[in-house]
Amino acid sequence: MSERVKVYLDSSALFAGIWSSTGGGRMIMKLGEAGAIQLLISSQVLSEVENALRNKAPGLLGFLTVLLEKSGVQVVQPPDQSAVHLVRRFVQHPGDTQVCAAAVESGAHFFVTLDQQHFLNNQTLRDNLPFPIGTPGDFLSWFRTRLS
């Protein structure tokens, strides 16, 4: 692979990578730290995760900062209206529309999420995006096949 695989994380995937020290989400963060993949998030995703940590585990806010830096997470630009318009045809939730549109514009090769309702079970959306959508485990399987 000449270009590192770009992996866009939504807030559920990023939160899982912080919350669990052994799950697929954390393994993705470790791959970012090793430089094997490029991790991407939007400022909205970052804000959502910060708010969730403030409510559930304020002591992990410092760890979030360290993990983002060590994993080389890049915060992408907000999406333009053409990307938002494209995604809005398939995702009705305004926040998720913005998150998915940012993934589209980021040039991601894979979108990692745990959101069943708006993303994983939305086959029409999945059929119309330029990249696969899946769970952390789905991504890890996909990534392994690219290495072989």
- Show Cβ contacts of residue 35 under 8 Å, excluding neighbours closer than 6 positions: 4, 72
pLDDT-based confidence at 1, cuts 50/70/90? very low
Sorted by where each starts, the structural domains of the chain and their CATH numbers stand as: 5-147 (3.40.50.1010)
- Give the mean pLDDT of 112-135: 97
How confident is the model at residue 2, as a pLDDT? 58
Could you give the CA distance from residue 57 to residue 86 in angstroms, rounded to a whole number? Answer: 36
pLDDT by residue (tens digit) across 40-80?
Answer: 999 999 999 999 999 999 999 999 999 999 999 999 999 99
Altogether, the residues listed in the chain come to a count of 148
pLDDT-based confidence at 148, cuts 50/70/90? confident
% of the chain surpassing 70 pLDDT: 99
